[in-house]
Amino acid sequence: MDKTFENIFVEIESGIAVLVFNRPEQLNAMNRKMMDEIIEAIISINANDEVKVAIIRGEGRAFMAGADIKEYGNQTTEEFVSFQEKGKLLYESIENSSKPWIAAINGYALGGGFEIPLACDLIIASESATMGLPEVFLSLIPGGGGTQRLVQKIGINRVKEMLFMGSALDSKLLYDWGIVNRIFSDDDFLSQVMDFAKKLSRRPSNSITELKRLANLSQTEMPFNQRIDDEAKTVRDLFLGEEAQKAIQDFIKKNK
C-alpha cells in the first residue's frame, strides 16, 4: 500500500499485511480521522489478492486504549451517530473479510480497542497484555459489538463479569477463558507473531476462506441442517477443484 496515513501505517511483505495503530503518545486512542484511515486500510487489504494473512497491532505501549475520550466526549449527536456507524463498518470489514485477521495485542486493549480483536479471527497476546471493556465507569456500555461478540467466544457468566466490573484482565486469564489463542513473550513478541502468520499464510487461501465463512456461519441463526448442507457442498466443490486434486495426488505419491 503506497498511501501515507496520519494515524496508522501499513506494511505488506511476503503475503502478510500488518496494519499498525500509530498514536503511541495517546496509547493509540481512536479519533474519527484514525477510524476513517483504519477502515480505508482494511478495505484495501481485503481487496489485495497478494495478501494471505492480515495482522493488526499497536505501536508503543498499547494495542489501543479505546476511543479518544477528549474528542468522543465533545461530539454532537450527529457526530456520535456517525462514529458508531463507522465503527460498525470497521468491525464488519474484518469479520466479513475472506482473509484471516490476527489481533496482535501488546499492552492495553480497552473498550473499542478490545472490540477490534473480538472481530478478528485470532487473538495473540503478549505476556503483559491486558484487555477489557471499561465503559461502565463512564455510565456507558460497549458500542462496537462487545456485548455480543464476547458471548460468542466465552460463557455468559464470564461475559457479564467483564461487562459489569469493567476491569482490565491479563492475557493469561483470558487465554484460560478461551478468548486469547496464543501468548508470546514480551521480548520477541512481534517476531513470534510474524512466524505464526507465515505458517498460516502457507495454508491454501481457498480453504481458509471457506473455513472462516463456515465457522462464522455457525454463530448465525441459520438452521443446523442448512449449515451442514452448506459444509457438504463446500467440501464437494473443493474436492472437485484442481488445487485439491493436485494436493491429494501429491500426498499419495509422497506416501507410496
Query: pLDDT (tens digit, 9 = 90+) per residue, 104-147?
Result: 999 999 999 999 999 999 999 999 999 999 999 999 999 999 99
pLDDT higher than 80, residue 212: yes
The whole-number average pLDDT for the span 153-172 is 95
pLDDT category at 255 given cuts 50, 70, 90 is confident
**Residues carrying an active site annotation:** 115, 135
Residue showing cell 484471516: 100
Is there a contact between 38 and 8 (Cβ–Cβ < 8 Å)?
yes
Cell numbers representing residue 105 in the block = 495485542
pTM score: 0.94
pLDDT for the residue 3: 79
Cα(20)–Cα(57) distance, integer angstroms: 5
pLDDT higher than 90, residue 245: yes
pLDDT for the residue 1: 63
Q: CA of 148: how far to CAs of 23, 31, 186, 220, in Å?
A: 28, 23, 30, 12
pLDDT higher than 90, residue 14: yes
What does the pLDDT look like over 85-103, one tens digit per residue?
999 999 999 999 999 999 9
